[in-house]
């Protein structure tokens, strides 16, 4: 167990620092090269710099990740894509409550190292301490229940958030969410992108270069995904 904890702390700290620092760099893309996931950036931006929102968003995936770790013996992608970046942002914002702080790679990397070490160690020790019989139960019962949080609870939550945010946020969240559900099988990325695009339209106007470029980029990205998945042919 001691060996597992030491390895988990090292791996969690290194991975957490890289992921959280990379997520922070994404806020400066394309002027500065980023190495984070666009999905992570969109979800973090949707929390609008609220430390509680970042924490609760990440917390929602702790249970599904724990169930996945116990049931399959492996960490899910949500650990590094969602839990670590958002909890790191919550930690940084709790210190000074300045939204721009989550765009500082160094601060986020330090917070990510702490969060990553704690989360990865917790999940690994949890999985190793669960009897085999309970892991079977987790795989057959807990994991499907946790999956319901991701589908359909999360897409509906983001769609309702878009509708509540404003006219354009609601319209574009509905359009892009529907397209994402059809193309990717999950409406959440489309709803998040729709909210961001709607906010751009609300701030700059529908005919502004910024809004047109943003909506065009999302549309082209969806077309390419649909093409490579064989849903459409040119």
For the chain, the structural domain boundaries read 1-130, 149-234
The helix/strand/coil state of 200 is helix
Separation CA 16–CA 22 (nearest Å):
10
Q: Exposed, middle or buried: residue 115 (CB in 10 Å: 0-12, 13-18, 19+)?
A: buried
Q: Look at residues 168, 195, 192, 163 and name the one whose alpha carbon lies nearest to residue 180.
A: 192
* Global pTM value: 0.59
The pLDDT, as a whole number, for residue 120 is 94
pLDDT at 71: 66
Provide the pLDDT for residue 210: 86
Per-residue pLDDT, 143: 65
- The pLDDT tens digits along the chain (234 residues) read 788 899 999 999 999 999 999 888 888 766 666 666 667 877 888 887 889 989 988 888 887 788 777 766 778 888 988 899 999 999 999 988 888 889 898 999 999 999 999 999 999 888 787 666 666 666 676 667 667 777 788 889 889 989 998 999 999 999 999 999 999 888 888 898 899 889 889 988 998 998 999 899 899 989 988 888 888 876
Q: Do the beta carbons of residue 25 and residue 35 sit within 8 Å?
A: yes
SS3 (DSSP) at 27: coil
Residue 98 in contact with residue 51, Cβ under 8 Å?
no
Give the span between the Cα atoms of 140 and 71, in whole angstroms. 8
What letter does residue 103 receive in the DSSP assignment?
G
CA separation for the pair 134, 7 (Å, rounded): 24
């Amino acid at each position: 167990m001691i060996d597992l904890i030491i390895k988990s702390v090292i791996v969690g700290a290194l991975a957490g620092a890289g992921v959280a620092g990379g997520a922070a760099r994404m806020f400066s893309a394309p002027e500065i090269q980023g190495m984070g996931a666009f999905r992570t950036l969109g979800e973090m931006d949707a929390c609008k710099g609220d430390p509680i929102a970042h924490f609760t968003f990440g917390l929602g995936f702790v249970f599904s990740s724990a169930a996945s770790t116990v049931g399959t013996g492996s960490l899910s992608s949500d650990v590094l894509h969602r839990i670590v970046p958002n909890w790191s942002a919550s930690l940084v914002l709790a210190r000074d409550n300045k939204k721009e702080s989550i765009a500082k790679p160094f601060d986020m990397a330090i917070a990510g190292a702490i969060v990553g070490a704690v989360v990865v160690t917790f999940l690994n020790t949890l999985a190793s301490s669960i009897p085999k019989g309970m892991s079977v139960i987790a795989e057959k019962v807990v994991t499907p229940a946790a999956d319901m949080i991701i589908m359909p609870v999360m897409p509906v939550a983001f769609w309702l958030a878009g509708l509540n945010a404003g006219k354009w946020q609601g319209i574009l969240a509905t359009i892009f969410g529907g397209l994402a559900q059809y193309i990717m099988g999950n409406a959440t990325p489309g709803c998040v992108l729709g909210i961001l695009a709607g906010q751009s339209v609300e701030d700059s106007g529908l005919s502004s270069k910024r809004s047109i470029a943003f909506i065009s980029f999302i549309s082209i990205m969806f077309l390419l995904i649909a093409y490579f998945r064989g849903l459409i042919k040119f």
